[in-house]
Chain A
Amino acid sequence: MELNNKLTVSASPHVKSAETTTGIMLDVIIALIPAGVASIFVFGLKALAVIAVSVAACVLAEFLSRKAMKREQTIGDLSAVVTGLLLAYNLPATMPLWEVALGAVIAIVVVKQMFGGIGQNFVNPALLARIVLMSAFPARMSAGAMAGTNITGWDVEAATGATPMGMISLADGLKDGAPSLMDMFIGTTSGCLGEVSALALMLGGLYLIIRKVISPIIPVAYIGTVAIITLIAFGDVNAMLYEVLGGGLMIGAIFMATDYTTSPITNKGKWIYAICAGLLTCLIRLFGSLPEGVSFSIIIMNILVPHIENATKPTIFGTVKEKKNKEADA
């Protein structure tokens, strides 16, 4: 009996580690706190309400759907909290709260639990929920609340304006009235909750890299690709920095594209994945009709991840690489 308690009988791998899903998720939550604080500082209590509703709805949706499917509860692993936070950071503060809750239900029930729960979702739940909300309420999602107008106000609908990504285009370059680069770095501009402060997001990303929760490859390659392409396209460092700091690129590259379930395992795969995502983002931003393309490009790359994994499969230890031999096939 005693022996049974000490030994775990399971299939390989047999690596023992103190690392748990809950621990990793807790690290991600800690890394997301600076951006949340920045958004509350910029947008006021409305931002706090959006975050609270999103997290609560995600956890509740996870609890109820696991209960309805008669499966073991997984809310303890905190992954629903992370999804809730990411979803909230992808919405503008002006979003009505029932629409926030609807997005949470789509993320958790449709994208995550219907495909089998944690580790089984085929795309990032929070991102897909954002895209569904974008198609469902296009006017709401494109209007970002202006910063600094509403520290305690609830009725912020009057104070909306174009998000920074709407102020730059390949044809016209930077338009007049665009926020300064410093504003965009610190976060006092308009946009979605988690988009505004590049500084806060970078702090969180740095924490995750130091704690070895994420590898720096994806964020660096993703942002680097966008930087290089926009530098070539605009021929202007200011415009390049503007593209890098603006929109959802920072939060997308650091927190969404690095999701374990929907990003490649191998380093080679990560490079391919991140560079392709960067290319797609630039294509959509520069040539598409949408001002912002981070969410779509990450979702498209999420779907392609199984193929990237297939193409970058490492050789099994102790075997030689299979040679392409057409005669053997025939």
Chain B
Amino acid sequence: MAEKKTLGQEFSKGLIKENPVLRLVLGTCPTLAVSTSIENAIGMGIAATLVLICSNIVISALKKVIPNKVRIPCYIVVIAAFVTIVQLLVKAFAPDLDASLGIYLPLIVVNCIILGRAEGFANKNSVIASAVDGIGMGVGFTIALTLMAAVREFFGSGNLTLKVLGFGTTLTDIFGLGEKDVLTAIGLEPILIFILAPGGFFTFGLLMACANKLAEKNGKPKAELKGCEACPMAATCAMKADGKECAE
């Protein structure tokens, strides 16, 4: 974080270059758990993005008030407050989504992306930059989740639920297949393992490889780094920001 970035760059870095899931490898637990259908993925992405933007703004605004020694508990309190609001909203207006996300909705509190951005970005940047960072990271998270869900759902169940918060359609409805799924209709059959955990890890690995390739093309050097630069947490590491090297 040497040179100052423009707001546009703060936003766009979250999409590919510093995509929270595919490049920083944060928030992998909800990524693997809810990326079994596009509807869930988008719902989760929106919920996490809302929390991320709000907590980034508040933490950035309070960065001079919060004592350094107890900053993590303070962040968690702020994040938990917003998660509760989002959870109650989802429960009230999208009960189906609440049912399918289950425990992963309240678990946004401990989502590393949100705490990571609070620790690594919001506590040393302006309110506006933090808000933009939150939007960029949130969109990056949603894109990664949706891509993974698209691959897993299509191969795993032969269908795509192109729905946002209950509105929209499914791939089988578009083709008018009724009960049949798309893969069965063209003479193949759904590959169940994509819906299961191993398929999730496999898709995750392939998407990470693609993101690395894309990020390198965009001018970032190949990831052969030493010391702090090699650490996946470097972008959000508090010790590095203080100018210290960690033990590893």
Which one, A133-141, A209-217, A243-251, A303-311, is touching chain B? A133-141
Closest chain-B Cβ to A303's Cβ sits at a distance in Å of 15
* B191 close to A136 (CB less than 8 A): yes
Closest chain-B Cβ to A270's Cβ sits at a distance in Å of 29
B188 adjacent to chain A (CB < 8 Å):
yes
* A137 close to B188 (CB less than 8 A): no
Helix, strand, loop or mixed for chain B's interface? helix
Closest chain-A Cβ to B183's Cβ sits at a distance in Å of 11
* A136 close to B193 (CB less than 8 A): yes
A287 adjacent to chain B (CB < 8 Å):
no
B246 adjacent to chain A (CB < 8 Å):
no
Selected contact of A138 from candidates B188, B192, B194, B198, CB within 8 Å: B192
* A137 close to B196 (CB less than 8 A): no
Please measure, in the bound complex, the distance between the C-alpha atom of A98 and the C-alpha atom of B191, giving whole angstroms: 12
A156 adjacent to chain B (CB < 8 Å):
no
Please measure, in the bound complex, the distance between the C-alpha atom of A102 and the C-alpha atom of B202, giving whole angstroms: 15
B173 adjacent to chain A (CB < 8 Å):
no
The interface residues of chain B lying within 8 Å CB-to-CB of A99 are 189
- Residue interface mask A80-108, B partner, CB < 8 A = 1: 00000000000000001011001000000
Chain A 131-164 residues near chain B, CB threshold 8 A: 132, 135-138
* B188 close to A132 (CB less than 8 A): no
B interface, how many residues as a size bin?
A: under 10
Please measure, in the bound complex, the distance between the C-alpha atom of A136 and the C-alpha atom of B188, giving whole angstroms: 13
* A135 close to B189 (CB less than 8 A): no
Please measure, in the bound complex, the distance between the C-alpha atom of A221 and the C-alpha atom of B187, giving whole angstroms: 44
* A98 close to B188 (CB less than 8 A): yes
Among the interface residues B188, B193, B194, B202, which one has the most CB atoms of the partner chain A within 10 A? B193
* B188 close to A135 (CB less than 8 A): no
* A137 close to B198 (CB less than 8 A): no
Selected contact of B192 from candidates A96, A102, A110, A136, CB within 8 Å: A136
Which single residue of chain B is at the shortest CB-CB distance from A140?
B189
Please measure, in the bound complex, the distance between the C-alpha atom of A76 and the C-alpha atom of B196, giving whole angstroms: 36
Closest chain-B Cβ to A75's Cβ sits at a distance in Å of 24
The interface residues of chain B lying within 8 Å CB-to-CB of A138 are 192
Selected contact of B196 from candidates A98, A102, A135, CB within 8 Å: A135
Please measure, in the bound complex, the distance between the C-alpha atom of A136 and the C-alpha atom of B158, giving whole angstroms: 13
Please measure, in the bound complex, the distance between the C-alpha atom of A137 and the C-alpha atom of B189, giving whole angstroms: 9
Closest chain-B Cβ to A63's Cβ sits at a distance in Å of 21
Closest chain-B Cβ to A3's Cβ sits at a distance in Å of 40
- Residue interface mask A119-136, B partner, CB < 8 A = 1: 000000000000010011
Closest chain-A Cβ to B15's Cβ sits at a distance in Å of 27
Which single residue of chain B is at the shortest CB-CB distance from A98?
B188
Among the interface residues A99, A135, A137, A138, which one has the most CB atoms of the partner chain B within 10 A? A135
Closest chain-A Cβ to B5's Cβ sits at a distance in Å of 36
Closest chain-A Cβ to B207's Cβ sits at a distance in Å of 15
The interface residues of chain A lying within 8 Å CB-to-CB of B192 are 135-138
The interface residues of chain A lying within 8 Å CB-to-CB of B188 are 96, 98
Closest chain-B Cβ to A132's Cβ sits at a distance in Å of 6
The interface residues of chain A lying within 8 Å CB-to-CB of B196 are 135
Among the interface residues B189, B194, B202, which one has the most CB atoms of the partner chain A within 10 A? B189
Closest chain-A Cβ to B113's Cβ sits at a distance in Å of 28
Chain B 193-211 residues near chain A, CB threshold 8 A: 193-194, 196, 198, 202
Please measure, in the bound complex, the distance between the C-alpha atom of A137 and the C-alpha atom of B188, giving whole angstroms: 11
Please measure, in the bound complex, the distance between the C-alpha atom of A96 and the C-alpha atom of B190, giving whole angstroms: 13
Closest chain-B Cβ to A223's Cβ sits at a distance in Å of 30
Closest chain-A Cβ to B140's Cβ sits at a distance in Å of 26
The interface residues of chain B lying within 8 Å CB-to-CB of A136 are 191-194
Closest chain-A Cβ to B124's Cβ sits at a distance in Å of 40
Please measure, in the bound complex, the distance between the C-alpha atom of A96 and the C-alpha atom of B183, giving whole angstroms: 14
Which single residue of chain B is at the shortest CB-CB distance from A132?
B193
Closest chain-B Cβ to A98's Cβ sits at a distance in Å of 6
The interface residues of chain B lying within 8 Å CB-to-CB of A102 are 191
The interface residues of chain A lying within 8 Å CB-to-CB of B198 are 132, 135
Chain B 25-47 residues near chain A, CB threshold 8 A: none
Chain B 168-199 residues near chain A, CB threshold 8 A: 188-189, 191-194, 196, 198
Please measure, in the bound complex, the distance between the C-alpha atom of A135 and the C-alpha atom of B196, giving whole angstroms: 8
Given contacts A96-B188, A99-B189, 9 further A-B contacts (CB under 8 A): A96-B189, A110-B202, A135-B192, A135-B196, A136-B191, A136-B192, A136-B193, A137-B192, A138-B192
Q: List 14 A-B contacts (CB under 8 A).
A: A96-B188, A98-B188, A102-B191, A110-B202, A132-B193, A132-B198, A135-B193, A135-B198, A136-B191, A136-B192, A136-B193, A137-B189, A137-B191, A138-B192
B interface residue numbers (CB < 8 A to A) = 188-189, 191-194, 196, 198, 202
Top 4 A-B residue pairs of the complex, sorted by shortest distance between their CB atoms: A136-B193, A135-B193, A136-B191, A136-B192
